[in-house]
């Protein structure tokens, strides 16, 4: 199994809603990532978990709250988002955080905030 699975594929939410994005991998990878990608832009790193501990928060607003319940799962809790938060949210994993590690990506959640 070399897949990273993300749900839901599409999400529309209002600015007062609370929702969660889910990501799962069963490759035994110990590093997991959330990226945000706006149209026609490269992915921007948001959070990195290494061995289920938060390693990097790239100054992401607190309305985004990551969670890593176990080594296979990664969640992104969303609350009080703004329309400018509309984007493709990509989850990725890698064996670890060494220099040569390649990333395995999910197909993303396309989020629209109304």
Q: How many residues lie near another protein (CB under 8 A)?
A: 27
Length of the chain: 114
Q: 96: closest CA among 34, 52, 37?
A: 52
CB of 21 to another protein, least distance (A): 14
Contact 114, 83 (CB under 8 A): yes
Binding to another protein (CB under 8 A) within 36-75 occurs at: 40-43, 45, 48, 50, 55-56
108 near another protein, judged by CB under 8 A: yes
Q: Which of 59, 83, 84, 99 binds another protein (CB under 8 A)?
A: 99
């Amino acid at each position: 199994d070399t897949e990273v699975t993300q749900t839901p594929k599409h999400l529309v939410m209002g600015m007062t809603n609370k929702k969660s994005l889910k990501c799962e991998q069963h490759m035994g990878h110990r590093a997991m990532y959330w990226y945000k990608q706006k149209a026609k832009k490269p992915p921007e790193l948001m959070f990195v978990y290494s061995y289920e501990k938060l390693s990097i928060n790239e100054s992401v607003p607190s309305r985004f709250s990551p969670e890593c319940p176990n080594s296979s799962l990664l969640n992104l809790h969303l609350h009080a988002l703004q329309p400018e938060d509309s984007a493709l949210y990509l989850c990725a994993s890698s064996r670890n955080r060494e220099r040569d590690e390649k990333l395995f990506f999910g197909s993303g959640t396309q989020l629209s905030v109304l």
